[in-house]
Amino acid sequence: MGVAAPIIGNQINFVNIDFSFNAKEIEKFFFPGGLRLFNDVQLQCYALNNYPKNKLKSVGSNKNFPKGPKALIIPGTGLGLSILINGESIATEAGHLNIPNISDEIQHLLENFKKENKRIATFEDLLSGKGISYIYGFLSQEYNHNYANEDILNNLAGDAFCDETKILLIKIFAFFAKYVALITGSSGGVYLAGSLSESLLKDNDFLEFRSIFEKSKKMNKYLSNIPIFLISEKDLGYMGALEVYKNEIIQK
């Protein structure tokens, strides 16, 4: 079972909602044959072991499919990140890292967030569903706007603030992906998934994302050799669960 929470002991406490459960009690009443818990993005990351290459959409110019650690980033209600190393998926809570000063425009946004929330903004605060609404509100100074997140990203109303919101989100997303690649050494590729990734990145956004990702005076050559792929897959969690089943149960 994949759950959107850190897996620490038997008491599972969700981060973004006020909900918790005891794994042993759930296992006792509903799974007499045994229960295995994973972080939800950790489980989805297992799907990268055998994900069809022809279903991957290249973000920018990718030369090949190199071996090495892979990183899966999924923004949504929160911001999930898991790392695949030698076939094993490792869960992280990297979305809760504070956002550094990326640019003057983003710095103004971060200062406003800190003033309103009495804390420094994390990547998850802005690179998520709630972040889309907040950024639009900051830019337009209309925090009680009626736009849904889909309206902002698709900009059906022709609102300039919607376009600015998307530009900032892509910039924050690309910087997060860059930091992930540098920290984890994900030479096997950075993979972006989830409906928010698909909504943010269209074909004409790929070059901008890639440019921000690679921009570094010292590490440009390293970053330029890391492929980035967009995954359009609704059943990534099921595919990951099947990989775990095949590797840990069938082979044993």
Report the residue count for the chain.
252
Structure confidence at residue 35 (pLDDT)? 85
Structure confidence at residue 251 (pLDDT)? 58
Structure confidence at residue 39 (pLDDT)? 85
d(CA 140, CA 147): 12
Q: Identify the DSSP state of 55.
A: G
Structure confidence at residue 33 (pLDDT)? 86
Q: Could you give the residue ranges of the DSSP H alpha helices within 49-147? A: 104-117, 123-126, 129-140
Structure confidence at residue 15 (pLDDT)? 74
Q: For the segment 188-236, what is each residue's pLDDT rounded down to a tens digit?
A: 999 999 999 999 998 888 999 999 999 999 999 999 999 999 999 889 9
Q: For the segment 111-128, what is each residue's pLDDT rounded down to a tens digit?
A: 999 999 999 999 999 999
Say if CB 82 and CB 44 are below 8 A apart. Answer: yes
CATH 3.40.367.20 intervals, the chain = 40-252
Q: For the segment 22-62, what is each residue's pLDDT rounded down to a tens digit?
A: 889 889 899 988 888 888 999 999 999 999 999 999 998 77
Choice among 79-83, 132-136, 227-231, 242-246 with the minimum mean pLDDT: 242-246
Nearest Cα neighbor of 96 from 127, 135, 118, 137 is: 127
Higher-scoring residue by pLDDT: 215, 11: 215
Helix (H, G, I), strand (E, B) or coil at 226: coil
Q: For the segment 146-174, what is each residue's pLDDT rounded down to a tens digit?
A: 999 999 999 988 899 999 999 999 999 99
Q: Which residues pair with 230 in a beta bridge?
A: 57, 192
Q: How confident is the model at residue 252 (pLDDT cuts 50, 70, 90)?
A: low
Structure confidence at residue 34 (pLDDT)? 86
Mean pLDDT of 128-148: 93
Helix (H) or strand (E) holding 38: strand 38-39
- Whether residue 6 is predicted with pLDDT greater than 90 in this model: the reply is no
As given in the structure block, the two tokens for residue 70 are 């892979």
Strands, DSSP E only, in the chain?
2-3, 11-13, 20-22, 38-39, 56-58, 70-75, 79-85, 88-91, 189-192, 228-231
- Whether residue 64 is predicted with pLDDT greater than 80 in this model: the reply is no
Q: With DSSP H G I counted as helix, E B as strand and the rest as coil, what are the percentages for the chain, rounded to 5?
A: 50, 15, 35
- What does the angle CA 140 – CA 210 – CA 85 come to, to the nearest 5 degrees? 115
Structure confidence at residue 234 (pLDDT)? 87
CATH class of 40-252: alpha beta
